[in-house]
Structure 1
Amino acid sequence: MNTRLRYHVKYAILEGALPYERSHGMSIFAHCAGDYRLSKLFNNAIVDVSTMVMKKILVNYKGFEDVSTLVDMGGNKGASLSMIISKYPTIRGINFDLPHVSVFHNWDDEHCIKFMKNCYAALPDHGKVIACEIFIPTIPETNDVARMAYNYDTFMMVTCNVRERTKLEFEALGKAAGFEGFRVACSAYDFKVMEFLKKN
């Protein structure tokens, strides 16, 4: 975590303030939008992590085999989608992104449910939302995977005033949006690949 942000963590806890905005005078997304070097660094970091994780997903996850159309929401420059289509060339891929957008990870429950409801409405009856996220342990743990999740959680608190979620919290988001089924299909390093099924 950026050292400047550490001085503002107490305001996030006590007042609900956003440490990044207190420290920099703007949100991380506004900062990226106005600073080409920061934006490039931010996007390259996302692409690097996404590429590493997607390589592992393509080995472990078989859920793309029955997909005809895949929309990558918040797909950045399309690196992950390109990797998927390279392995599954019959998939029609659509990369949907706006400047500095991410899904689930950057949003509170209310916005995630709204997003999921929109996905639900757009999906065919047997469609699914596939998401890859880190889970916070339901019961506090001290292993390396848990420590990584807590680091992500803290980073999200100080930059976006949101948090990582447990498996049960992700499942609850899907149910609140109308999805009948939920399953964790596989792991890719510390990330979990989830499927939200429109019909069970």
Structure 2
Amino acid sequence: MFTELSIKIFNQSIAAYHEHNDVHQAISNPYEKSSIEHLLFLKNWIDTVQWHLEDIIRDPKIDPVAALELKRWIDRSNQERTDMVEYIDSYFLDKYKEVVPAADASINTESPAWAIDRLSILGLKIYHMQEEATRADATPEHRAACQRKLDILLEQQKDLSTAIEALLADIAAGRKFMKVYKQMKMYNDPSLNPVLYKTEQ
């Protein structure tokens, strides 16, 4: 199943990042560049780096100049994340291009890749909640609370995977159809963000 493959690769990416746990480290993607596995690994790597950037920027003692640099890095990361989602959706569009939707076929609230995006983020939540649930220097109460949250996250991962597989099956059978709206982010576009285009006048 596609979700099993995705979770396996997301976990591999998260583990690879945490070998050094450094937002500046270079990615070492083990998969062929043209493969969907390569895209999934890269997608999660971007998410994992951004997860830690979001931690760093919340340091109350952070230097304001450094915080601004991090904010701009996070903005670039968000754009890269969107790009990866669109690349993954392109994979699905190509995979199901021969499917003729039924006359009563419906559209889903999100594309397959945006659901996969949520599965990637969920993998990060599970990894870090597992860390907290087993943290040796935490109180027993903290570990127990985090274990309860971890159990819910694992259930959520199972439910989300089930929903994604059902969506893909429906698309393959023509019961649902894909429709992808590309590059609708406005704040990175100098022609759409008034702060940016006013500075160019």
- Bin of the TM-score, shorter chain as denominator length: under 0.3
Q: Which has the larger radius of gyration?
A: 2
**How high is the TM-score relative to the length of structure 2?**
0.25
**Greater strand share, structure number:** 1
**How high is the TM-score relative to the length of structure 1?**
0.25
